[in-house]
Homo-oligomer: A and B are copies of this chain.
Amino acid sequence: MKSHDIDDLLSALAHAERRRMLDLLMEAPGMGVSALASHFAMSRIAVQKHLRVLERVELVLSRKQGRTRHLFFNPIPIQQIHDRWTTKYSAFWSERVVDIKTRVEAAIRDRKENKSA
């Protein structure tokens, strides 16, 4: 997954209403655009724009049958980020951040003392 794709995926997820769309599609897979839009205060067009964002990063997949486009939540992109974070950060999660700070501060103090000694 490219850095740019991660940008797009995370910013797609960084919007409460879009996450609520995913929640709704998780509960009721196969809804149409208008059916989904009926759950929101904003216009159908606005919902459609949010959907386009979600579809571009494949968090939402769709299949047209007749005049309605059925929408589906795809959890895989989230899993990809999740897995990446696991490998990258899980080692850090065990440490206490406060400790990192104080340890580094001590190191800075030491550096100074050595310099002036």
Q: Are A14 and B14 in touch, CB under 8 angstroms?
A: yes
> A20 CB to closest chain B CB, in angstroms?
9
Q: What is the distance, in angstroms, from A67's C-beta to the closest C-beta of chain B? A: 13
Main secondary structure of the interface of A (DSSP, over half): helix
Of all chain B residues, which has the CB nearest A85? B82
Contact partners of A104 in chain B: CB under 8 A: 29-30, 70, 72
Q: Is the CB of B79 within 8 A of A93?
A: yes
Cβ-closest chain B residue relative to A2: B16
Q: Does A97 lie at the interface of the complex (its beta carbon under 8 Å from any beta carbon of B)?
A: yes
For A58-100 the 0/1 string (1 means CB < 8 A from B) is 0001010100001010111011001001100100110001001
**Could you name 7 residue pairs across A and B whose Cβ atoms are closer than 8 Å?**
A8-B14, A30-B108, A61-B97, A63-B101, A72-B97, A76-B97, A82-B82
